[in-house]
Amino acid sequence: MKLLRILPYARKLLSETIQPGEIVIDATTGNGNDTEFLAEQVGENGHVYAFDIQQAALDSTFTRLGELNKRVTLILDSHENVEKYVALEIGGAVFNLGYLPHSEDLSIVTRPDSTLKAIQSMIGLLKKGGLIAVSVYDGHEGGHEERDALLAYVKTLHQADVHVVRYELFNQRNNPPFLILLEKLKDFKIPGQIK
Q: Residue 162's Cα: distance from chain center in Å?
A: 16
By CB under 8 A, name the one of 76, 106, 151, 194 that touches a second copy: 151
The smaller minimum CB distance to a second copy, of residues 108 and 165, is found at: 165
By CB under 8 A, name the one of 76, 166, 193, 194 that touches a second copy: 166
Which residues in 85-114 contact a second copy (CB under 8 A)?
A: none
Element (H, E) at 129: strand 126-136
The smaller minimum CB distance to a second copy, of residues 144 and 163, is found at: 163
Choose one: 25-33, 96-104, 117-125, 162-170; the region binding a second copy (CB under 8 A). 162-170
Could you say which DSSP state residue 99 is in? B
- Residue 94: what residue type? V
d(CA 96, CA 110): 9
By CB under 8 A, name the one of 1, 87, 88, 190 that touches a second copy: 1
158-to-62, 110, 117, 145, 189 alpha-carbon distances in Å? 38, 25, 17, 23, 13
By CB under 8 A, name the one of 107, 159, 189, 195 that touches a second copy: 159
d(CA 133, CA 79): 14
By CB under 8 A, name the one of 7, 56, 149, 165 that touches a second copy: 165
The smaller minimum CB distance to a second copy, of residues 63 and 172, is found at: 172
